[in-house]
Structure formats: structure tokens, C-alpha cells
């Protein structure tokens, strides 16, 4: 099942490309300081060849892609493949083994998803710079602690993977034949326990690995497996967000090339989501003895709302109930899509520990993206 990674660009070249892009920008990247003296310039005038709306949408997407990269990087350091394409960290054999219970290729998929996120923000920032617009840089907010488990780098992070409250309603949302979030419908979570507390998706310290024994059939304690299961469901949560965000925002861009960017990046989020929800279905049912978190048996009792192999979207209502049901991405409502995405990530616990300035900047970027109008 292993597949060969064809890209051979080194990370060094990718990063120097980004640095070059930032230098060309001149005015500097969007960061906390820029907002100290009021609205940034792009709110008032066209940013190079881009309309203010297109620039705002691209900036918001760049910010979210930087945040995605930060969280995927943490997963890769401990549970992925650390190589020249995605450097950093030295891996945790115990955590990697627990993830592989979901699929033998989990480390490869984590690596590839991480690399994809690097390219998403790097490309969008470079494109902004090419149009004379400011790129996004969140480096000043890399202040959250790393995992202390062996294998993780000890550096400042943008996101927190150790206190997650994971909403798994995406599971039943894509299995429903009668409901759609764009009609105001809500969906029960597949793993209710993940909404009722704060749970680690990576080992916090080596204590979380206690009882692990390596080998052909490794011994994986339930607490460690629960952490890997949490990660498995979280991977799909993150990527279903991107799956909806790109089509939602694409409805409001103006320039055909910007539309092309959104239509070309967005479906890669969907590829990720589709893979991850298939793997999450392999998470073994168990109870974490340390905190009581339950991963239920999703195929018993049998229900089409939770059946693990129903990974293709069920057809459902779209636009109006007068139309026949159709297999679609959901939601794709464009109104408030950026702020909705920011709220979902915040509710997920990813930003626990972040500063008021961080939230103020993210809210500002989301507000400007949501204010964009096609042709405006």
C-alpha cells in the first residue's frame, strides 16, 4: 500500500521561495502590528491587480492554511514520516503504532497532508505578493507549547492539539439523505464523548505512552489508542472544514484566476477528508481508562447514519426541497462562511492559550473575507 512520493523539492527551496516572496512584497506581511493603527490599506483600495474582496478572501485562506500547516506539522513530527519534504521531529514509535491500527499507511498520509498544507499557504502568499498585495504571516503568534513527548520539536506553536473538543457530526451530516446544514439542520456526533471534554490528539508527554510494547503485534494500551483515535477523527474534522470553505468562498471571488485557485485547492481538502473519514472508521471501539472517553461501535447496532463504510456522500436536499436529492458537498452557504470556519476551529480547542491579538487578527481577516462580493 506504500506509495512513492514523487515531489522532490527540498523544504529549503520551498522556504527560500517563501522568503523571496515576502521580500518582494515590500510592505511586509500581514501580522498583529499592521492593525495597531487602524484598518490595513487593502480595505480601502485595490491590492495590485486584485480586487479588495479577492485579496481578502485569499488572505483569510492563507491564514487558515498556515494554521492547518502548524497542526499537521505537530502530527507529522510524532506520527508521520519526518524527511526532507516535511522535516522536524523524530517520531514516536508508540503513537505511530497506535495510528497504524487505523491504517498501515497512516504515517504516509499524515506526511502528505502536511506537505499539501505547506504548499497551500506558500502558494497563496506568493500569489498575493505577485499581485502587489500583502501576504499573511502569523509567526508572532507561535507561542503555544509543544508536546513534551519524545519525538516532538520543542518550539512555539500556533495551535494546541492537547485539549481538543472534536465535533464528529460531519459523520452523520454526510450520511443523511434528508438533511443539509444549509437548511439549518443539525447532526448528532458519531463520537458524542469527544464533544464532552478536552482530549489530547497527540501524546502530551511520554507518560501517555505507558504500557506500550513494540513488536510484530505491538501492545497498545487503551489510553494511547484513544489518543490515536481522537487524532483519526480530528483529521477528518479539519479537512471537511476545508472541503466546505473553498466552495463557500469561491462564490464571492471576482477574478477568474482567483476562482481557479480556489477551485483547484479546495478539492484537495476533499481528497484529504475522504481518506480520513475512511480511516477513522477503523478506530477500534474502546473506553479510555484515564478519562472515560468512549469510542462507540459504529456498526452495531446497524445504522446508515453511522455505518463506517458509507464514506461516499449520501444524496440529500440542495438549494430547494422542490429539486430531487443530489450528492453534494455540504454546507456551501457563502454568507458568513469565513467567520463560521473560524468559529469551528476555535470551538475545536485548537487556539486554547492564544492571545487576544491573535483572535482579533483572525476575526478581522474573516470579516473582510465575508464582506467580499463577486464583482465588488
d(CA 58, CA 127): 9
d(CA 376, CA 366): 17
Cβ closest to Fe ion, residue 113 vs residue 169: 113
Cβ closest to Fe ion, residue 68 vs residue 112: 68
- Is there binding between residue 269 and Fe ion (CB under 5 A)? yes
Among 53, 73, 118, 120, binds Fe ion (CB under 5 A): 120
- Is there binding between residue 234 and Fe ion (CB under 5 A)? no
Q: Taking a C-beta distance cutoff of 8 angstroms, is the pair 206, 221 a contact?
A: no
Cβ closest to Fe ion, residue 298 vs residue 362: 362
The span of 201-209, 242-250, 253-261, 298-306 binding Fe ion (CB under 5 A) equals 242-250
Size of the residue set binding Fe ion (CB under 5 A): 7
- Least Cα distance to 311 among 109, 185, 174, 170 occurs for 174
As measured in angstroms, the least distance from the Cβ of 268 to Fe ion is 7
Cβ closest to Fe ion, residue 42 vs residue 123: 123
d(CA 182, CA 270): 18
Mention every residue, 6+ apart, whose C-beta is less than 8 A from residue 350: 67, 71, 159, 160, 161, 164
Q: DSSP letter at 149?
A: S
Instruction: Write the CA distances from 360 to 143, 196, 372, integer angstroms.
Output: 16, 27, 19
Cβ closest to Fe ion, residue 249 vs residue 317: 249
Among 112, 117, 167, 208, binds Fe ion (CB under 5 A): 117
Helix (H) or strand (E) holding 121: helix 106-130
As measured in angstroms, the least distance from the Cβ of 277 to Fe ion is 13
The span of 57-65, 211-219, 227-235, 363-371 binding Fe ion (CB under 5 A) equals 57-65
Cβ closest to Fe ion, residue 120 vs residue 157: 120
As measured in angstroms, the least distance from the Cβ of 35 to Fe ion is 24
Instruction: Write the CA distances from 217 to 35, 149, 210, 220, integer angstroms.
Output: 54, 23, 17, 9
As measured in angstroms, the least distance from the Cβ of 83 to Fe ion is 20
- Least Cα distance to 103 among 213, 204, 203, 236 occurs for 236
The span of 93-101, 109-117, 125-133, 148-156 binding Fe ion (CB under 5 A) equals 109-117
The span of 224-232, 261-269, 306-314, 360-368 binding Fe ion (CB under 5 A) equals 261-269
The span of 24-32, 45-53, 68-76, 128-136 binding Fe ion (CB under 5 A) equals 68-76
Cβ closest to Fe ion, residue 120 vs residue 252: 120
| CA 249, 250, 252, 256 torsion-angle sign | positive
As measured in angstroms, the least distance from the Cβ of 169 to Fe ion is 18
Among 79, 242, 331, 349, binds Fe ion (CB under 5 A): 242
Q: Taking a C-beta distance cutoff of 8 angstroms, is the pair 200, 163 a contact?
A: yes
As measured in angstroms, the least distance from the Cβ of 121 to Fe ion is 8
Instruction: Write the CA distances from 142 to 67, 78, 91, 155, 313, integer angstroms.
Output: 10, 19, 21, 8, 37
d(CA 197, CA 5): 38
The contact set with Fe ion (CB under 5 A) reads 65, 68, 117, 120, 239, 242, 269
Amino acid at each position: 500500500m506504500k506509495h512513492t512520493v514523487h515531489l522532490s523539492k527540498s523544504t529549503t527551496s520551498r522556504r527560500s521561495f517563501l522568503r523571496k516572496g515576502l521580500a518582494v512584497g515590500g510592505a511586509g506581511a500581514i501580522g498583529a502590528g499592521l492593525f495597531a493603527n487602524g484598518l490595513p490599506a487593502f480595505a480601502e483600495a485595490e491590492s495590485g491587480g486584485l480586487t479588495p474582496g479577492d485579496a481578502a478572501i485569499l488572505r483569510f485562506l492563507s491564514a487558515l492554511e498556515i494554521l492547518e500547516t502548524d497542526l499537521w506539522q505537530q502530527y507529522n513530527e510524532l506520527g508521520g514520516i519526518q524527511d526532507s519534504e516535511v522535516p522536524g521531529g523524530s517520531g514516536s514509535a508508540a503513537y505511530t503504532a497506535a495510528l497504524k491500527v487505523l491504517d498501515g499507511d497512516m504515517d504516509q498520509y499524515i506526511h502528505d497532508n502536511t506537505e499539501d498544507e505547506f504548499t497551500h499557504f506558500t502558494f497563496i502568499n506568493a500569489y498575493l505578493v505577485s499581485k502587489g498585495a500583502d501576504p499573511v504571516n502569523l509567526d508572532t503568534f507561535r507561542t503555544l507549547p509543544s508536546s513534551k513527548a519524545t519525538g516532538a520539536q520543542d518550539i512555539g506553536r500556533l495551535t494546541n492539539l492537547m485539549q481538543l473538543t472534536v465535533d464528529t457530526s460531519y459523520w452523520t451530516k454526510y450520511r443523511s439523505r434528508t438533511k443539509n446544514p444549509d437548511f439549518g439542520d443539525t447532526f448528532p456526533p458519531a463520537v458524542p464523548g469527544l464533544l464532552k471534554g478536552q482530549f489530547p490528539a497527540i501524546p502530551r508527554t511520554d507518560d501517555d505512552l505507558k504500557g506500550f510494547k513494540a513488536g510484530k503485534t505491538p501492545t497498545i494500551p487503551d489510553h494511547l489508542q484513544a489518543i490515536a483515535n481522537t487524532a483519526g477523527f480530528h483529521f477528518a474534522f479539519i479537512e471537511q472544514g476545508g472541503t466546505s470553505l473553498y466552495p463557500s468562498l469561491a462564490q464571492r471571488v471576482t477574478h477568474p484566476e482567483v476562482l481557479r485557485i480556489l477551485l483547484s485547492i479546495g478539492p484537495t481538502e476533499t481528497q484529504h477528508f475522504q481518506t480520513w473519514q475512511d480511516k477513522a472508521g477503523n478506530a477500534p471501539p474502546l473506553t479510555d481508562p484515564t478519562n472515560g472517553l468512549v469510542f462507540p461501535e459504529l456498526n452495531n447496532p446497524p445504522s446508515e447514519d453511522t455505518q463506517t463504510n458509507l464514506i461516499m456522500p449520501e444524496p440529500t436536499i440542495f438549494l430547494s426541497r422542490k429539486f430531487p436529492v443530489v450528492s453534494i458537498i455540504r454546507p456551501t452557504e457563502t454568507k458568513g462562511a469565513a467567520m463560521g470556519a473560524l468559529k469551528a476551529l476555535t470551538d475545536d480547542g485548537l487556539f486554547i492559550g492564544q492571545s487576544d491579538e491573535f483572535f482579533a487578527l483572525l476575526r478581522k481577516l474573516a470579516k473582510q473575507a465575508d464582506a467580499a462580493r463577486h464583482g465588488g
